[in-house]
A and B are shown apart, each in its own frame.
Chain A
Amino acid sequence: MFGLGFLNGAFLAALVAGAIPILIHLLNRRRVRRVRFSSLEFLDASSQRRMRRVNIRRILILALRTLAVLLLALAFARPTLRGAFFLPGKAPRNVVICLDASGSMAADFREGTAFDRAREAARRIVNQAGNDDRINLVVFGRRAEEQIEGGTRNKQVMRTAIDNARDTAEVTSIGKAIAQALEFVAASDIPGGEIYVVSDFRNSIDSTQVSPKTLPRDVRLFYVAIGNEQIDNAGIDMVTVPRKLMRPGEVVRVKAMLTNHSRTAATGVAVALSVEGTRKAEKIVDIAPEATTTVTFPVSFTKWGTYRCAVTKNRDRLRVDDERYFTIEISRSVPVTLIRGARNAKSGEATAPGGYFYVEKALNPRDSGVGEFRVSIVDERDVTAASLPRRGVAVWVDPQKLAARRLAVLKRYVRRGGGLMVFLGGANHAMLQRRSVRAFLGIGGSAEIVDGAQSGYTSFREDHPVFRIFNREELQLLSRSRVRRYVRVSGVAPDSVLAYVADGDPAVWECARGRGRVLVFAAAPDLVRGDIPLSPMFLPLVHTSVSWLASAANEQANMEHLAGVPLVFDPPQAIASTDRLVIRDPQGEVLQPTVFETPTGETRVLCERPEHVGFYRLERDTTTVAEVAVNIDSRESDMTTHVPAGKNAAGTVVSTRGDFGANLREARQGREVFALFVFLAAMSLVAEVLLSRRA
């Protein structure tokens, strides 16, 4: 939409001169002479037709004369043409500069990055603002933040704010930036204003097209396209590592996905895996134009601990997507939480030890807490998310009375990749009748307690990891143990059954839930309901079962945190105190964390806006409590530009080619078209003369 403005609006009063030719015409028309003529024979119809043509031509001539006068009057009012309906004046207005600080703005050019250019453009905009204008800066990536609350009239303050602005690795949201700017304009006591979006207009998570209807009439929108030249870029889109508990010596497969966003093939791309800053492996790949390839790095660690890793490729113009950060955690031991259903004995009552006792002793024989398994015990009523190991196994012995919300915690734990081993032999009958419990445990039909049986284990699925380590003799030893009480279930999927009791009922079965698994034993691991704890195979069976469940969530998973997305630290231990907690970003700057409680009462630490790629550390007194890798959103690697244009665009595109200041001035005030109007006036007069001569 083009608008007409005038630099010398006062001269528009001269438009009344356009009435002069009309007045002259009307005055002449009044003097019509009447003549009584001898005969009208020769002033026939053709004469009248000719007169009609003459009259039409005369009206045209009058129109051309009037037009010429009007055009001359308009010309001396110094007309300007520009992209929106707005008459510039000297009244103060709001000027909001939306500065794109997204990841793609880090694209490197000879004289600096696109962000450097954007800041320079922002300074030029500030320079052209009026002294009474209220200026503000909105720096935006995924989110948009007003830099000076309420804006400022002090240009120096604004220049400083521009200098202090830093680019981020966030994704672009131009829509949020414009919304933030409009909010500022709406809240301002000065009506209307100008919004300048200074961006490379590459991929945006929302449309850069703003509907003209949503834009107030007194607000003009300018798009300043900076550094939007075509760039060949290839980036690492994603790195996946196994989402499971990994142990020293285990081979970990790290997969990196690379995309070539350019139209030419990327050849000889060196992709390297670094662990704690040391290059461990490197591969050379070729990537076809606009194609994706995957590079896999097998790596193993001899020591337990959390390793900071990165996959890097050789640098191109956009470096921020040439490296991808992640952590690999190698566990020293398998954390096991024993959920105690039935207690050993009521107070003062001497009974035999419960099943959890034998399981605990199998996992932690010396009761030292140091070993391959790290065991903790909780009662059913104390089950919380925090009480369950982040990567490990929960062993639920003799379910009795687990509240529904605690069952939900348990379910969520399994779905997120946790392993659960359940011994049903001493289960409460009412518990087994709960459909949600049966469904969770993979029991499609009924579950009835069978007492007084004398069965043994049989029909082991020898290829399953739980029984694979045992040879035939060892399995025979296991089958000799007796089961006096167990839960007879129906509706268990036959292919999930790993062993049966002699009566033909499932004795051991397994079911997958989300990313985790549940391994169910129909019997109880105690000496009251059987004699399996006496079997020499009991300890190896518990070990292999727990180890299998700990490593069962073997899928590759992308656990990346993206820049700009609020980051929640999930510390390995519960945070007792939030004092002296700080977050240190990859550039070493200290950020204040936000501490909050989850609905389940757990404490979490939040970093509201991780802006940069790298490792964010949650520290207490220089000790790292938790560490999270933050990466760039892969959409920022796409160098396709989307500068809003066309008649549906609400804004005016300000070219950065040539003299940006002049372009900016032209966009704001329009192009002065004095010569055009004078030319049109002259043309009107020439046409008028030609028509007059013909008439």
Chain B
Amino acid sequence: MPYLKKKQTVSRYLDPAVVSRLRNIDLKARLIVEGYIAGLHRSPYHGFSVEFAEYRQYMQGDSLRRIDWKVYGRTERAYVKVFEEETNLVANILLDKSGSMGFPTHDELVERRREDGRRGRTGSHAYIDKLTYGGMLAASLAYLMIRQQDAVGLALFDERIDTLIPHRSVRTQLHHVLRNLERVEPGAMTSISPTLHEMAERMKRRGLVVLISDLMDDPESLLEGLKHFRHRQHEVIVFHVLDPSEIELNYRDEVEFEDMETGRRVRLEPAFLREQYKGSVSAWIERLERGCRAHSIDYNLIRTDTPFDQALTAYLGKRLRLG
């Protein structure tokens, strides 16, 4: 079926490895969102508005309540009504561009591809760094939000706020956001908590705060920063972006690790430390997740080898709850 073929073609752009090969971030965002939407049984564009837009042929999965029975009576075909959304949601995307978000480095990615090629395997590693992944995720979300008539703002930060684009809902805002995302480069040390506090103070209108970060900071101060948003009546959704290697330490042989932010080096053999490392990381993640849940913050652990739909679904779920 041509539709299914098109759907499969577009859906492949949910794969970070595929999308990362594209240069134009506009295209990336659009393909991700459309690829995601093609996989949905119900369009996110249509459902939050009360203004009629068009009819569409009923598809399996659509609610029977939305069938226009009058049209059915006339044509004996099932059509559903499609409404255009009108919204006034304010969303601010906070993207961490600290040094640790630059992991894996370009050399590391090259090495991963070479290793997988040597072993005749593909997909055993993530082939995209966290900042790129986070950027594309931010772009996709921005694209989706603008398309939904929501106001979008963007903040890029490392140890301080580097770029701040105030929220707007016009289409040119998307272009503005995407240009900044396209130029983003890993910065200096991570210092999330002060940034969150500063943003919380700046954001006068309550809305949705989307934090995309590897959260490489002190969990307690980080949660304090998030709690500040909640105190200001903001809804918060956290996308905790991690590379699979950071979770599983899936390196072979002896490795000399160099801290990307401090430059400290240590020579270790991951095979002997993997279980201990995984335990520590799990405890850290669990600590963050528990802290977020305690403050009604949506926490989403996103591995850079997972398709973008997981994050978009999480966003849309949140959006749905916000009405």
Contacts and interface: CB of A to CB of B under 8 A. Distances in A.
B171 to A, nearest CB: 36
B130 to A, nearest CB: 8
A237 to B, nearest CB: 81
B273 interface: yes
A46 B251 contact: no
A35 B214 contact: no
A31 to B, nearest CB: 7
Contacts of B103: 36-38
Interface string B108-127: 10010000000000000000
Contacts of A33: 111, 251, 253-256
A557 interface: no
B257 A51 contact: no
A36 B243 CA distance: 13
Given A39-B216, A41-B216, A51-B268, A34 B273 contact: no
Contacts of A36: 103, 105, 107-108, 257-260
A47 B267 CA distance: 10
A695 B280 CA distance: 20
B322 interface: no
A434 interface: no
A35 B100 contact: no
B268 A35 contact: no
B269 interface: yes
A686 B130 CA distance: 46
A48 B216 contact: no
Contact of A39 (B251, B259, B273): B259
B273 A38 contact: no
B264 interface: yes
Interface string B219-256: 00000000000000000000000010010000101111
Nearest to B108: A35
B246 A38 contact: yes
Nearest to A58: B269
Contacts of A39: 100, 216, 259-261
B268 A42 contact: no
B280 A42 contact: yes
A50 interface: yes
Contacts of A35: 108, 251, 255-258
A306 B160 CA distance: 135
B277 interface: yes
A47 B100 CA distance: 21
B266 to A, nearest CB: 6
A32 B267 contact: yes
Contact of B256 (A29, A32, A46): A32
Given A51-B268, A51-B272, A40 B254 contact: no
A48 B276 CA distance: 12
Of the four ranges (under 10, 10 to 19, 20 to 34, 35 or more), the interface on chain B belongs to 35 or more
Contact of B264 (A34, A38, A40, A47): A40
Contacts of B108: 35-36
A394 B203 CA distance: 151
Interface string B261-289: 11010111100110011001100100000
A54 B260 contact: no
A34 B257 CA distance: 6
Contacts of B264: 40
Contact of A40 (B105, B251, B257, B284): B257
A628 to B, nearest CB: 92
Nearest to B218: A41
Nearest to B115: A33
A42 B281 contact: yes
Contacts of B259: 36-37, 39-40
Contacts of B276: 46-47, 50
Interface of A: 28-29, 31-43, 46-48, 50-51, 54, 695
7 tightest A-B contacts by CB?
A38-B100, A38-B103, A37-B257, A42-B280, A34-B256, A40-B259, A54-B272
15 contacts: A32-B255, A34-B256, A35-B108, A36-B105, A37-B258, A39-B100, A39-B261, A40-B257, A40-B259, A40-B264, A41-B216, A42-B280, A48-B268, A50-B272, A695-B272
Given A32-B256, A47-B273, 13 more contacts: A29-B254, A32-B253, A33-B251, A35-B251, A39-B100, A39-B260, A42-B281, A43-B268, A43-B273, A47-B277, A48-B266, A50-B272, A51-B272
